[in-house]
Structure 1
Amino acid sequence: MAENRRRRLQALLAADLAERPESVVKLACERCVLELGVSGAGATVLSAAPGHGLPSRGLVCATNEVSSGLEDLQLVVGEGPCLDAFASGGPVLISDLSAEMERWPAFTPAARGLGAAAVFSFPLQIGVARVGSLDLYRDTPGPLTRAELTDALILSDLATLGVVAELDGHSTADLSWLADPHIQVHQATGMVQAQLDSTTEVALLRLRGYAFIHDVPLAEVARRVVARELRFTADEGGH
């Protein structure tokens, strides 16, 4: 049964690719929306940072602004289903996000404000090697059906193959090849690290804190730092 579903989804993805020769990962995310009854999907490359800090991240694709916002939010607040799925190696299936305030006190209210009522994250992995996550959301509460869950697991496998193909020899720790605003986050982190004479983890925490306090997307804070419009000092916030 599952093998038949896999063959069907592979055929659909192949047809999508023949019609539009784009990123397999992007097409897999779009296929998630079509097949799984979800409102949006995103795929992210993640790399575990030395010292067990937050993973580095490069957004591969998102089907809409809400999906993109949810990915960015998790990087800002340092918690959420994507990070949990990557850390555990197993799916994180939340059919009613409003019940997760204790688990994710910063992510949950902000994610609901973006329009997410249910979230489902699947690690992108080959064996024990994890390269990222596939993240889905619904704008109304409700679980994935058994068939939808099966298809989500299959599509996460297909998206994994797409990510590996697109990495094409790049390390997941080297995200400079990704055309993504999060690349500026890594540039800005390095600049703030130099400004503060601190560790990478402390620099990223300062960026995240500024974004959270001022209700500004982390990518915009990074852009300002890279453009030298915003500078951080050891004894105060950015100015």
Structure 2
Amino acid sequence: MGATVRELLDNLRPAADEEERRRWAGACAHALGLGGIAVSLGRELVWFSDRTSARLEDLQFVLGQGPSLSFHDETQVRQVPDLGRLPARQWPQFAAEAEELEIAALFVWPVHIGAVQAGTMTGHRRVPGPLSPRQLAEGRLVADTLAEQVLEQWPAVSAHDNSGHTGTVDLHRAEVHQATGVLSARLGVPLAEALDRLRSQAYTSSRSLAETARSVIHRDLPR
């Protein structure tokens, strides 16, 4: 029998090494009945438990669609228990891409720093259906704990590691912001337009936004 969420939270050490953090992330997602979880603060992806979770956050950012982007309720959990039953007009591209990843359900918790909602924690799983009241409540505990970690560890940033960590804060989109500036200067367009072009390039090439940003910075500049 796996550890409970409360046991996992009690055992989370800020100084944990990468392997320990990954084991903790997987165990915590499993205890919540999820396949993975990811945390974003504003437009920054700061932590994720697995590649699929990171890809889902990436798709929301690239497409401008998804459950966490339109999440404005500061207290409630948003449940999307069956992506296949969404209205066709709601997040059409995101829903199609998520189903390609075999994602059946999504859940979004608010992440608070103090009294302010600073971001979201998004969980996914591969079978449809709602979470239980206990899972929803324990997910809030995880979101609150991660918010505390972010607040405590924010000065410890790294733009070079794409693995996603708990207990430290990694700004996974630092290269995206850098590439946006490169494109803006190169093409003579505003930053907002440069970011739109970068997103479009990522989507049409089926690469992650980070990979596309690195190619812009180091090699190929889309025109």
Taking the TM superposition and a 5 Å limit, the aligned residue runs for 1:83-102 are 83-85=69-71, 87-89=72-74, 90-100=76-86, 101-102=88-89
Assess if the C-alpha contact under 8 Å between 1:16 and 1:27 holds in 2: no
Whether the 8 Å contact between 1:33 and 1:39 is mirrored in structure 2 is yes
- What SS does structure 1 have at the residue aligned with 2:128? coil
Gap change, CA 1:139 and 1:63, over 3 Å in 2: same
Shift of 1:139: 0.6
Amino acid of the structure 2 residue aligned with 1:37:
G
Within 1, Cα distance between the matches of 2:56 and 2:49?
A: 12
Equivalent residue for 1:105, pick from 76, 84, 92: 92
Question: Which digits, 9 at most, give the CA deviation of each residue in 1:162-183, with x for residues without a partner?
Answer: 111121499xxxx899545422
Q: Which residue is 1:53 aligned to? A: none
**Does 111-120 or 30-39 show the bigger shift?**
30-39
Q: Does 2:39 match 1:43?
A: yes
In 1, Cα distance between equivalents of 2:96 and 2:64 = 14
Match of 2:16 in 1: 21
Identify the structure with the greater helix proportion.
1
Asked whether the 8 Å contact 2:110–2:121 carries over to 1, the reply is yes
* Cα deviations by residue, 1:30-77 (Å, 9 ceiling, x for unpaired): 45313211111112222xxxxxxxxx32x2222222111111111111
Could you tell me the TM-score, scaled by structure 2's length? 0.81
CA positional deviation for 1:113: 0.7
Partner AA of 1:199 in structure 2? P
| Partner residue, 2:206 | 215
Aligned to 1:123: 110
Q: Which residue matches 1:81?
A: 67
Counterpart position of 1:52: none
Distance 2:203 2:16 in 1: 38
CA RMSD of aligned residues (A): 2.8
Structure 2: how far apart are the matches of 1:15 and 1:118?
Answer: 28
Q: Structure 1 residue 130: deviation in Å?
A: 2.7
Structure 1 residues 161 and 179, CA, compared in 2 at 3 Å: closer, same or farther? closer
Query: For residues 169 and 150 of structure 2, what CA distance do their matches in structure 1 show?
Result: 11
Aligned residues: 209
CA distance in 1, matches of 2:67, 2:217: 29
SS in 2 for 1:81: coil
Cα separation, 1, equivalents of 2:179 and 2:209: 10
Which AA in structure 2 matches 1:70?
L
Post-superposition CA distance 1:115-174 (Å, at most 9, x none): 21100111211354232221100011111001111111111111111111121499xxxx
Identical residues among aligned pairs (%): 30
Q: Give the partner amino acid of 2:129.
A: G
Rounded to whole Å, the distance in 2 between the matches of 1:187 and 1:73 is 19
Hey, what does 1:49 align to over in structure 2? none
Ranges in structure 2 where 5+ consecutive residues have no aligned partner: 161-167
